[in-house]
A = this chain, B = another copy of it.
Amino acid sequence: MTALDRWREGPTREAILGFVRSVSEPGPAFVPKPERIATFDNDGTLWCEKPMYVQADFVLRKWKTMVADDPSLAERQPYKALVEGDRAWLASLTDHVPDLVRGVSEAFGGMTTEAFEAEALEFFHEARHPTLGVPYTDLAYAPMLQLLALLEANGFAVFICSAGGRDFVRAVSERVYSLPRDCVIGSSAPVEHHDGQLVRADGVEQPIDDGPGKPVHIWARTGRKPLFAAGNADGDIEMLSTARFALLVHHDDAEREFAYDAGAERALDEAATRGWTVASMKNDFSTVFGPPPAR
């Protein structure tokens, strides 16, 4: 079994190693290989989500180019808040979902899936994390990359289950996570077929891959519930509830990453109640970022 040397020795690392061993080696808890499904939330679980979601940066940059091309957009939301630097509006995005969905539709609606992927790849090539100064593709958590590799080495099929855009993450899943694009489950605009082309339509496909939608997306993709699941926020509770082993990443390391419980309050309560394993980034991660382990 691969050692988790980017995890510090302690009960979290032991719980993970013990569970993986118990289901993959002969014994009372053995689980046949096809049932060894592991699902990971993406933002905040596999890579950094602060000060904003990576995909939010992608969308904001696109909106900036749209306003540059058509200044009249600045008269209405969501472009207005962006141009005016309206931090209050931008900080309360969940109050403005219809405006946001319309903005995303205006940004990418009508694009082919190939054109969308090309824009995503250009973003990943050019953009830098606003405070850490490195490409977003360098901001996966080294201990989590090592955990993905450990699970695969023990016969698990590993999936990313992102509340964010499926096709956005697929553009870099191989490079960042060594996971092929079809292992990425996530939310999406409706995709439509027109004359042999696949084109993004307006709006968002329901349910999105968050909260109660997460186990639904996992079922649709795999026909199973996860054996192992990892998340970091309240939107991961339902996915974690359906898994035999649930891991909650706790962002408590202000020095090496960001410390915040906002959006994870209920998940932390559930973890205490249900006995989920909580990974403290401060105490359990021996490194946070860094080169992925050799696979």
Contacts and interface: CB of A to CB of B under 8 A. Distances in A.
A216 B238 contact: no
A147 to B, nearest CB: 21
Contact of A215 (B180, B181, B182, B198): B198
Nearest to A214: B193
A181 B37 CA distance: 13
A82 interface: no
A167 interface: yes
A59 interface: no
| Identical subunits present | 2
Contacts of A125: none
A238 B184 CA distance: 24
Contact-residue size bin, chain A (C-beta under 8 Å from the other chain): 20 to 34
Contact of A216 (B184, B192, B213): B192
A225 B198 contact: yes
B184 A223 contact: yes
A196 interface: yes
Given A181-B223, A182-B222, A198-B225, 14 more contacts: A113-B219, A167-B223, A170-B223, A181-B224, A182-B223, A182-B224, A192-B212, A193-B213, A193-B214, A193-B215, A193-B216, A193-B238, A196-B241, A196-B242
